[in-house]
Amino acid sequence: MPHPETWLRPTPSGLFCEPGGFYIDPGRPVERAVVTHGHADHARPGHAAVLATPETLAIMRARMGQGAGATQQPLRYGEALRLGEVTLRLVPAGHVLGSAQVVLEWRGSRAVVSGDYKRQADATCAPFEPVTCDVFVTEATFALPVFRHPPPAQEIAKLLHSLTLFPERTHVVGCYALGKCQRLITLLRAAGWDRPLHLHGAQQTLCRLYEELGVPLGELLPATVANKAALKGAIVLAPPSAIADRWARRLAEPVTAVASGWMRVRQRARTRGVELPLVISDHADWDELNRTIDETGAPEVWVTHGRDDALIHALALRGIRGRALHLIGLGEDEDDALPAEPGASPILAEPGAAPLPAPEATA
């Protein structure tokens, strides 16, 4: 039985499956791409042929139009397909709508490329299914034991409690337009919030698409046309970048929230000026990563991107071989994967020195 490293290898364009003749989530335009999900760091424009779930293809068309692939081949979850000498299957990854793990088999050897995934429940997509394999290819975005995502309902309760404390203020929640936004909406609905939710323009296309694909989101209104008074006490969902943008000025004394796994670390939240950090992530946390790897029974794990050092160390402690692939381009362009750098202080002679003297009135 051939070891997967003989037929699946990292290249500058991405992970290449030689006997199948295709790349998985390539970072550059290629002849044949298999795409795990629609986030921009995994689904790039300009490939000649793209294979993905029907939902992922629909998301790619909505986001990049003509760039979504000259030919598109949909493959439903669980259906097997032969590409070259390789048998390929897509299995739910639980990350966002349409997200899939790519299960590859060649001459009796099986590798699973999981893309991005999570194990928490998510009403907007099919849940992750573990598949036993010889090599499990995993992300490691939150691969430090400090990252343990709390139950999302608890975080939503914080948001709703804040609305009772500050009923006059607009609560603007920064969230990625694909996946996080729609998940937040379903979480809010599940918590009993049946008032309309307001959307920044950047969130509208994908919410509409989710509804077309069978994910009900309730009443959604654009936040752009509503006047300031109408947004008092409202929840507005916006891209994280918009919070710092001029757009946010239309809002009534906004409380700025951000929903992201990075919000678990206080300093990260503070440097981004977040007032209400909500630890809600579409990535596996430390426990989920380790549990998932154990469930696949894989004796060897390849880490595509993220904190590979900690994960590989933890795997070695239980006799699992770990290998860092350092794939280029993954983990970019996605808010969950990109914390802001801590603020630089250009004025002080040395780091850590006290700030400038504050004015002190004396009478």
Report phi then psi at 118, rounded to 5: -145, 165
Token pair for residue 95? 């990350």
45's torsion region: left (phi>0), alpha (psi -120 to 50) or beta?
beta
- Minimum CB distance to another protein smaller for 31 or for 245: 245
- Minimum CB distance to another protein smaller for 219 or for 341: 341
**CB neighbour class for 102 (10 Å; exposed up to 12, middle 13-18, buried from 19):** buried
In angstroms, what is the minimal distance from the CB of 88 to another protein?
Answer: 35
CB contact at 8 A, 209 and 58: yes
In angstroms, what is the minimal distance from the CB of 32 to another protein?
Answer: 37
Strands 100-106 and 109-113: antiparallel
- Minimum CB distance to another protein smaller for 65 or for 357: 357
In angstroms, what is the minimal distance from the CB of 164 to another protein?
Answer: 9
Cα(86)–Cα(105) distance, integer angstroms: 6
- Minimum CB distance to another protein smaller for 28 or for 148: 148
- Minimum CB distance to another protein smaller for 66 or for 227: 227
Beta strands in 276-330 (DSSP E): 276-278, 300-306, 321-324
In angstroms, what is the minimal distance from the CB of 229 to another protein?
Answer: 16
Cα(184)–Cα(4) distance, integer angstroms: 38
CB contact at 8 A, 53 and 213: no
Per the DSSP assignment, residues forming a β-bridge with 14 are: 11
Closest CA to 206 of 89, 96, 353: 96
In angstroms, what is the minimal distance from the CB of 326 to another protein?
Answer: 17
In angstroms, what is the minimal distance from the CB of 183 to another protein?
Answer: 21
CB contact at 8 A, 77 and 100: yes
Residues interacting with another protein, by CB under 8 A? 144-148, 150, 158, 162, 165-166, 243-249, 253-256, 264-267, 269-277, 307, 309-310, 313-314, 317, 340-344, 346-349, 353-354, 356-357, 359-363
- Minimum CB distance to another protein smaller for 176 or for 262: 262
- Minimum CB distance to another protein smaller for 53 or for 138: 138
In angstroms, what is the minimal distance from the CB of 316 to another protein?
Answer: 10
